[in-house]
A and B are shown apart, each in its own frame.
Chain A
């Protein structure tokens, strides 16, 4: 394990998670493009956990674990919000948003899915965990 910590569920605190995860993976030498993707995925997942899981309650922190192995880095983000309703998984459609048929928001999960190689969502009781994995190196990493 590279790091394990908690973030207080307060708006804006996803930046704490981004910075801490970024520091934790420094030794892995991720190409800049993949590091930026990981940071965006961590930020969005932490926001999602703080907002929908912990409802921005300071007494319900979000737990974050950073793991590495098998040529990948994995970040687990756990809140106490339990399973998510399917409504949160609406696929954003920009054209529909511009026509007013979808709300402007709703990009978070889409961005997470777009930024990482693997995404696993589990719920057990009140605990809800989103685990995202990113391979350490890809053939198309031109900025390595």
Chain B
């Protein structure tokens, strides 16, 4: 039997931007915590939502689908999504799935909050 890390996704605010700290695995078990984090993040009408993967572990195809869902909701609400903290492998996956075409992938939190890597296709 596999062991599962308990996912957590607390929300912080910096300069009008909501930062969701994604911890643990990004798979089906993360669905409830990501949903709660998204609702908390957008409740403050942020300029953008930053997904921090710095504390994330394993990401599978179900986790990719969860991120697609957040991206769709962001587009519908006119809220830009940005990301940082991806390992080179998961950055490659964001590129081949084209997630990187629709959300800016930044090297660190400061640039993600500033939106220094350019805006996404919202």
Q: Measuring CB to CB, which residues of chain A are less than 8 angstroms from any residue of chain B?
A: 8, 10-16, 33, 36-37, 40, 43-44, 47, 92, 94-95, 97-98, 100, 103-108, 110-111, 114
Of the residues B2, B65, B88, B98, contact of A104 by C-beta under 8 Å: B65
- Once the chains bind, are A104 and B97 in contact (CB under 8 Å)? no
A-B contact count (CB 8 A): 69
A108 & B61 in contact (Cβ 8 Å cutoff): yes
Closest to B27 in A: A12
Taking chain B's interface residues, is the majority helix, strand, or loop, or is none over half, making it mixed? Answer: helix
Q: Which of B61-104 contact A (CB under 8 A)?
A: 61-62, 64-66, 68-69, 71-72, 75, 88-89, 93, 96-99, 101-102
CA distance A107 to B64 in the complex (A): 8
Q: With A13-B1, A105-B61, A107-B65 in contact, do A97 and B89 touch (Cβ < 8 Å)?
A: no
Interface size class of B (residues with CB under 8 A): 20 to 34
Whether B1 and A8, one on each chain, are in contact in the complex, defined by CB atoms closer than 8 angstroms, is: yes
Known: A13-B1, A16-B2, A36-B89. A44 touches B61 (CB 8 A): yes
A94-B89 in contact (CB<8A): no
Residues of A within 8 A of B29 (CB): 12
Closest to A44 in B: B61
| List of A residues within 8 angstroms of B64 by Cβ | 107, 111
Contacts A12-B4, A98-B75 known; 15 new A-B pairs at CB < 8 A: A10-B2, A12-B2, A13-B1, A36-B89, A47-B60, A94-B68, A94-B97, A94-B101, A98-B71, A98-B72, A104-B65, A104-B66, A107-B61, A107-B65, A111-B64
Please, what's the 1-or-0 string for B33-76, where 1 marks a CB less than 8 Å from any CB in chain A? 00000000000000000000000001011101110110110010
Main secondary structure of the interface of A (DSSP, over half): helix
Q: Which residues of B contact A14 (CB under 8 A)?
A: 2, 60
Q: State the CA gap A37–B93 with chains docked (Å).
A: 9
